[in-house]
């Protein structure tokens, strides 16, 4: 495998049943010596399970306890990093800032937008309300609104994730239609010393390209962006590292020479392998 996977979910996420041991085993089988778990924690998530519990809430004490034990067991052959995918909305930016301040033990924080105006674009009601182009625009606007209040993360997750769920997916999607919003988004990210991720999870969810669109990768690079992690967004062990050969080609095509990993919230840069070990 080409890159350490920096976007992975386990049974600690509401939408995954993947056992941590299985994830590590699968990663090792694929030749990885490091990865970073990033289970879901969505602040003030607006949906609840049948027992009335808020979904996508990470049991952080249990997460840390389990991962710390596992990290010790697999070391020194395997470097297990502990991260989180923090779901943010404009209404939770202060909570996000407080969360990051309180959790300095994490190696890595992905900030993601999953909820827009109380709706989850995963469900049809979102596009029924906004239509496709405006639904995409609203998602990007909400990222920008969140970024105006919260920047204490390491990378922003799957920037154009909403396209996964649009009625026509990426058929009519052109980032140039939203260029002003994306420029503002990327400038804030770069000005604060943060990064973005290249997320291949779309490749097994009906799209033929990762997030974000190659034009956004190029724009990010052009604006001075350097920090970029690579993640599969796998919710099952068999998807770890999925499409990383595609990710590498995209990064090289966009002019990147290095990818990024994180330890204790500090960026580490590594040359992108030129090929041959996919
Ligand atoms: Zn996500
Ligand atoms: Zn995810």
11 within domain boundaries: no
Domain enclosing residue 172, as ranges = 20-271
Nearest ligand to the C-alpha atom of residue 6:
2
> Is 0.85 surpassed by the pTM of this model?
yes
Q: How far is the CA of 6 from the centre of ligand 1 (A)?
A: 12
Q: How far is the CA of 56 from the centre of ligand 1 (A)?
A: 11
119 falls within a domain: yes
Asked if residue 240 is part of any domain, the answer here is yes
Asked whether residue 98 is domain-assigned, the answer is: yes
Q: Give the whole-angstrom CA distance, residue 83 versus residue 73.
A: 18
Question: How far apart are alpha carbons 228 and 104 in whole angstroms?
Answer: 21
Would residue 254 count as lying in a domain? yes
What is the pLDDT at residue 204?
87
pLDDT at 1: 65
CATH of the domain at 30: 3.20.20.140
- pLDDT at res. 278: 45
Ligand 1 centroid to 112 CA: how many Å?
A: 6
Residue 13 located in a structural domain? no
Distance 30 CA to ligand 2 centre (A): 20
Residues 6+ apart with CB under 8 A from 131: none
Structural domains of the chain, count = 1
Positions in the chain short of pLDDT 70 = 1, 275-278
Q: Kindly identify the ligand whose nearest atom is closest to the C-alpha of 16.
A: 2
CA 8 to centroid of ligand 2, rounded, Å: 6
Q: pLDDT (tens digit, 9 = 90+) per residue, 172-224?
A: 999 999 999 999 999 999 999 999 999 999 998 889 999 999 999 999 999 99
129 domain-assigned: yes
CA of 51 to the centre of ligand 2 (A): 24
Tokens of 111: 């900030």
pLDDT of residue 2: 86
pLDDT score, position 255: 97
């Amino acid at each position: 495998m080409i890159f350490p996977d920096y976007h992975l979910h386990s049974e600690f996420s509401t939408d995954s049943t993947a056992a941590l041991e299985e994830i590590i085993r699968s990663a090792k089988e694929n030749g990885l010596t490091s990865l970073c778990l990033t289970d879901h924690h969505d602040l003030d998530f607006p949906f609840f399970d049948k027992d009335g519990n808020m979904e996508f809430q990470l049991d952080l004490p249990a997460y840390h306890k389990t991962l710390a034990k596992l990290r010790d067991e697999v070391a020194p052959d395997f470097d297990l990093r502990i991260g989180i995918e923090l779901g943010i909305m404009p209404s939770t930016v202060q909570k996000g800032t407080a969360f990051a301040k309180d959790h300095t033990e994490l190696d890595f924080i992905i900030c993601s937008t999953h909820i827009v105006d109380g709706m989850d674009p995963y469900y049809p009601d979102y596009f029924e309300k906004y239509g496709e182009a405006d639904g995409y625009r609203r998602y990007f606007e909400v990222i920008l609104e969140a970024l105006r209040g919260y920047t204490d993360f390491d990378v922003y997750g799957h920037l154009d994730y909403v396209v996964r769920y649009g009625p026509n997916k990426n058929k009519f999607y052109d980032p140039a239609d939203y260029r002003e919003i994306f420029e503002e988004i990327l400038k804030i990210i770069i000005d604060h010393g943060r990064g973005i991720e290249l997320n291949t999870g779309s490749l097994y969810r009906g799209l033929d390209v990762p997030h974000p669109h190659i034009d956004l990768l190029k724009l990010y690079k052009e604006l001075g962006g350097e920090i970029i992690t690579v993640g599969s967004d796998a919710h099952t062990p068999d998807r770890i590292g999925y499409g990383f050969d595609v990710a590498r080609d995209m990064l090289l095509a966009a002019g990147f020479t290095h990818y990024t990993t994180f330890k204790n919230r500090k960026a580490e840069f590594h040359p992108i392998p030129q090929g041959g070990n996919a």
